[in-house]
Each structure stands twice: as C-alpha cells, then as structure tokens.
Copies of this chain bind each other. A is one copy, B any other.
Amino acid sequence: MDRIASSPAIAAVKASLEGISFADDAATLRLKSRDFYWFSPILKAELDGKLADLIVFPKDESEVMHVAAIAARCRVPITVRAGGTGNYGQCVPLHGGIVLDISALESTVWVKAGAGRFQAGSRLLEIDRSLKPFGQELRFYPSTRKQATIGGLVAGGAAGAGTCTWGQISDMGAVLGLRVVTVEDEPQIVELRGPDIYKVMHAYGVNGIITEVEVPLAPAHDWAERIISFPTLKAAAAFGQDLTSRDAIAKKLVSVHDARIPAGIKRLKAIVPDGEAMALVMISEPQIEQSEELARTHGGVLRYARSAADAERAAFEGEGDLAPIYEYSWNHTTLHWLRADPTITYLQLRFPPGRNLDLVDWIVETFPDEILLHLEFQRRFGHVTHSALPIVRYSTRERLYEIIDALNANDVAVADPHSYLLNDAGWKRVDSGSAEFKRFADPHGLMNPGKLKDWSVQ
C-alpha cells in the first residue's frame, strides 16, 4: 500500500478542523512523524522519511472525536502519538495522513487510594509529581518517564522501573480501565474494563484512540539510589537475583550491567572502576542498610549513593550530579551507548525463571563480543527472573537474525524490536482481540495503517 492520503483529502481535513490546532510545516512534520525506531538499523532504513501530511493537536476529548470523525469521513489515515518514546516506529505514519498528537490531554480525571484515572497524554513523571501529596505513585515507568505518557505505556510499552515488584503493564491487574474513541463518521466512546482492555492494549493505536487510562497506584516509598560494583557480571547477577527474591526489601529498580556497559557511558565510567560489573538499585530508604549488606555478601562495593530526596530532585527538577539512575537502565542504556557508538543496536530478551542465570552464562560464553548484557530484574507471574535489552554489536541483518534464532532456540525468547509490525514485536498477542476490535472501532481501516500484518478492511 502506498500513501493513501490524497492532497484533496488532506485539504478537506484542514478545512474541517474548525479551529483545532494543527501544523504542516516541514520541521514539525519531521519531528512528529518519528519515534526512537532509529535504535534499530533495520527500522532506520525502513522508516526514515515516512511522514505525516498533517499534525493535529486536539486539546480535549471532544476535539479528538471531531478529528476522528473528519479522518473517517475524508478516509485519511490517522496515527496517534504523544511522547513518541517508542522504539519500533509505533507512531510512525507509514501511509501519511494525520498524526494526532494527544499530548495536551494531560488532566487527572480522579485519584483515590490505590487507583487513579488519567487522560492518555499525561506524562508519567508529571503524574508522579501530582500524586506526591496523596502519598501515591505509579507502580512502574519506563526509563523514558520524563517524556513518555500513560497512554503510550499502555498502547506501546511494557515495563521499567517498578517491574521488579509489580510485573509488567500486560499483567492482569496492571490496568483497570481504558476509554477509547472510535474512528467512524460518528465516533463512539467505549469504556473497556476487565479482560476487554487487552483488545486495545499494546495495539499501537490501530483500533481506537485511547483517551483515558485507569491504573492501580502504589502507595509511595522514598526511593534511594545506589550504584554498586562487582568483580564479575556473574556476581552482580547473583546479587540481582537475590535482592529481587527478598520479598521483605521494598524495591523499585534492580538493573545489572556487564562491566563494558558503564565503561562506555561517560558519567558511569567515572563511578564504576574499569572492568567491574555494575548494579543500579532503587530501594525504600529505610531498607538501604540491609540492601548494602546483601550486596557486600555478593562481593559488591558501594560506588554511588543518593538519598531519596536528592534522587527525587534529580527526577523532578533535573538537579544533581547524575541523571536519575533509572535513566541508565532498560532502553536508556542503548540510548547512552548509541550516542558514543552509532553502529550498535539492541535486542529484547526474556529469560525463563529458574534458568535465567544459567542462560546468562551461556550467552556470555556464546556471544562474548557481540552481546553486552544488562539484566533488568523483574517479577513475572509470581516468579523472579530478568529480562534484558542487551547492547548488540551490529554487523549485518543476517547475522542479527542468526543471533536471534540461536537465542530463541535456547529458550531465551526474543521479542524482535527490529520490526514495526504489531504481530512481530512485543507481545505477539494473537489472542488479544485487537484485529476483531479493529473491525468495530476502525471500520475504514484508517488507524496506524500497515502495523497490523495481514489485516485488511473486509
């Protein structure tokens, strides 16, 4: 399918916007048609140059509905975005048309003990800032907390800091409700709850515009930060596993890195001695003492300490000598490395609980130079394990898929981040109902076209 938005159709859209803010200058089109897909050399080649015809900035849900109606009536593609922190081109418009930037939908609908409801464009950091007086916080956030929105987390994200305690966004219980606007001549509003939420979760906005997200909240802890070095990755990984398995230690982040990773990031190189592996941890402040003791039993040496108050200032105000340490974990590790070496890329790996540490050893032996592991410890379905978003030294597409095949064949499941197809990357939820729901919510097949493989308007 080629660009399906004809000039007359785009002109008709513009003529119908009735004062809703939009932009079509070249700089804005370029800026708002991108996400972080360039982490992948494969996606970079495939997605560079894909542009929207028009960026529309609705200020509230009624404007969202108005734009949805125009898109439907004019048969113009519509791709939803906000922070644009995805890594698979989730919000890159493959076939032009409208990019709908919902960043202005950033109000809190309500907050009560243990739950909150937010407009989808609310940034995660700002949600946490607003929750502070209530003694509550989001259970988890990706390393892009500052830019990423709650709608984006639900529509295209997975995990992050907090996953070591609360699991992932896809887990039953992680999302309570979603409000969705359909793309029809007369758009409808649908409230999804219970298992119905999976119809639109992690669906890259192919089947409805999520306007509100209701999530359980965690009562807030004061999270202190520590960076601890270890003689080997094996020792650091054993610490990570041990700490994450300690039910009695309240924790937000347990991120363990191959020695070469901090050595390649300027600010960390100054903290972690050459040749030593590293653990980044965020721990409830009153439990730091015991966590440090646990680290010592694994051969760890404390290299950096920041109080919860100072860590919060780093996150909320950008103050301090180091970015918030979660900004060196998860996929921010890749970002820091790409700044120094644009030839590298990354993968997304899941490890089976019980065998995860053995499989780390196997990867280190099998791919000593090509894969630099950092392990993001987490709870999955009641078990402790880790995922990994390793730095991968990229040579060719063929070699990358050889590595992927070898990993998959050895029970390290790869969620391929080098495909923009919904069915390939991420969850591969064939049972998610997203295709079926698309027939209802997007009868003209206009939403983020090209992302849902093998789908066509019937």
Contact = CB atoms under 8 A, between A and B. Distances in A.
Nearest to A380: B247
B249 A293 contact: no
Q: Give the interface centre of A290, A293, A382 by most chain B CB atoms within 10 Å.
A: A382
Contacts of A249: 172-173
A46 to B, nearest CB: 34
A342 interface: no
Given A114-B285, A135-B135, A382 B245 contact: yes
Interface in A160-194: 165-167, 171-174, 176, 193-194
A286 interface: yes
Contacts of A384: 382-383
Taking the full assembly, how many copies of this chain does it contain? 2
A350 interface: no
B284 A382 contact: no
Given A219-B220, A284-B216, A193 B289 contact: yes
B194 A247 contact: no
Contact of A286 (B112, B135, B219, B286): B112
A172 B247 CA distance: 9
The size bracket of the interface on A is: 35 or more
Given A221-B113, A244-B382, A381-B247, A173 B135 contact: no
Given A195-B293, A221-B219, A293-B194, A287 B135 contact: no
Contacts of A219: 135-136, 218-221
A294 interface: yes
Interface of A: 112-115, 135-136, 139, 165-167, 171-174, 176, 193-195, 216, 218-222, 244-250, 284-287, 289-291, 293-294, 379-384
